[in-house]
Amino acid sequence: MADPIADERFLRRALDLARQGVGLAAPNPCVGAVIVDLKGNIAGEGIYTYAGVRHAEILALEQAGQKARGGTLYINLEPHSHQGRTPPCTDALIAAGVRRVVACMADPNPKVSGTGFEKLRAAGIHVEAGRLEAEARRINETFARYIRGGIPLVTLKSAMTLDGQIAPPPSAVRLTPGTPAGGWITGEEARAHVHEQRHASDAILVGVGTILADDPLLTDRSGKPRRRPLVRVILDSQLRMPLDSRLVQGLGENANDVLIFCAASARKEKKKELERRGLQIEPVRTLSDERLDFHAVIHRLGELEITSLIIEGGSTINTGALASGIVDKVFLYYAPKIMADPNAVPFMRNALPVQPPLLKQAQFHRFGQDFAIEGYLRDPYKE
C-alpha cells in the first residue's frame, strides 16, 4: 500500500537530484531518479547530465541492481519511451522488474508526452503522476519552452531603486573596472543570486550601451560547474563595441562565447577587426527604424541550441524586449532606496505600444535588505 508521506519524501529527493543537473543537462531536461526497494530503502539514485549520456533512470537502476525488482522509481519527469541518444528508459524499467513509478509530471515534448506512461502501464507497472508537479515544472521550464517552440525561455532581469531607477545619471563615475557607474544598486546577497540565475541560463544578453557604460565581463561567477560556457550576447547595431573593453581584451580561449548581433549596414572594417579578434558577428534583420529585430535574434539563438536567455540590459533593451513580446518571465530586484534624480536612468525609456499581459504566478523573494518580484508573462508549457 502506498505511503503518501514516503512518496513525497522520495519525490523531493528526486527533485533535489534534478536540480543538480542545472547547467549540465541543456539542451535536454534536468532529471533526477530514485529507486526504492521492497523494504522502503533507497537502492539507487541517478542524475542526468548531457555529457554523461546515460539517463537518470539507467544510473539509478545500475546502482540498485537486483534490489530494483519489485521496487519503486521516483522521478521528476516521465521516463522516455523513444530512441534518442540512448535506448528507451521504459524498456530498462520493465526489464528490471520495477513494479511502480511515481513521477511529478509528463514530458512537455508534445511528440512524446504520455507515451512513456502508456508503455509502462501496458507492461503492468502501476504509474502515478502529478505530485509536486509545480516544483517539477519550474525545474524544466526552459526545456519546455525550447522543445515546444524552438526558442529559449527569456527572462528579463533588472535591479532598481524603489522609484524605478536602474542607474545614476550617465555622468556618474565608475568606482572600479567592471562595476556599474555610480556603484551597485543592490547588496551582495541579491548580486550573488544573479549569478545563480546566470548559471541556470545558456546565454546572457545586453545592449552595447551597457558595455560602454559599465565595461562588464558578463560571466557566471556562481562557482558551480557547467557543461557549456555562458554565451554572452551583445546587441550592437552599428558595432560600437570598444576594442579596449574588458570583454574583448579578456577573451582568450572564450572568444567563441561572445556573439554580437548587428545590422547589415554596420561598418565592414569594424566587423573584420572584431572577427579577427575571435568574436562571432552576425548581421540580423532590422526593423523600419534600423533597430535590431528581437524576434530574429531569439530565433537565431534557438538554432544555436540556446534554451534559456537572461536579459540584463539597460532602459533601451528593457523597453525593446518588452515591446517585442519576447519576454516570458521577469525577475526584478528592488533596493530600499529612492534615487530621486530626474537625470537618473529609468527601468524603461518609453511607454510600450501595447499593454503587456498581467504578471502571473508572482512570487516575492527577499535578499538581505533587498527584495525581488518574480513572475511570468506567458506559460512556457502552453505557448
Written as tens digits, the pLDDT of the chain (383 aa) is: 678 899 999 999 999 999 999 999 999 999 999 999 999 999 999 999 999 989 999 999 999 999 999 999 999 999 988 777 778 899 999 999 999 999 999 999 988 899 999 999 999 999 999 999 999 999 999 999 999 999 999 999 999 999 999 998 877 655 566 667 668 899 999 999 999 999 999 999 999 999 999 999 999 999 999 999 999 999 999 999 999 999 998 776 555 799 999 999 999 999 999 999 889 999 999 997 789 999 999 999 999 999 999 999 999 999 999 999 999 999 999 999 999 898 999 999 877 877 777 899 999 999 999 999 999 999 999 86
Cell reading at 27 = 539542451
Known catalytic residues? 57
C-alpha span between 106 and 108 (Å, rounded): 6
How much is the pLDDT for 10?
98
What is the predicted pLDDT for the residue at 262? 96
The Cα 14–Cα 316 span in angstroms is: 41
Q: What residue ranges do the domains of the chain occupy?
A: 4-139, 144-231+242-254+287-376
Q: Cis omega before residue 27 (within 30°)? A: yes
Q: Which residue has the cell 551582495?
A: 188
Q: Which residue has the cell 558595455?
A: 211
Question: What's the pLDDT score for residue 178?
Answer: 63
> Is 144-231+242-254+287-376 CATH 3.40.430.10?
yes
pTM for the full model? 0.93
Which cell numbers in the block locate residue 123? 507492461
Cis omega before residue 170 (within 30°)?
no
β-pair partners for 129 = 103
What pairing do the DSSP bridges indicate for beta strands 32-36 and 42-47? antiparallel
Query: What pLDDT, on a 0 to 100 scale, did the predictor assign at position 352?
Result: 81
Closest alpha carbon to 98 in 56, 64, 131, 132:
64
In this prediction, residue 349 carries a pLDDT of 84
How does 154-164 read in b/e, with b if 16+ C-beta sit within 10 Å?
A: bbbbbbbbeeb
The x, y and z cell numbers of residue 129, run together, are 503522476
H helical segments located in 97-255: 115-122, 133-139, 141-149, 188-199, 208-214, 246-249
CATH topology of domain 4-139: Cytidine Deaminase; domain 2 (3.40.140)
Cell numbers placing 80: 522516455
| Diameter over CA atoms, the chain | 72
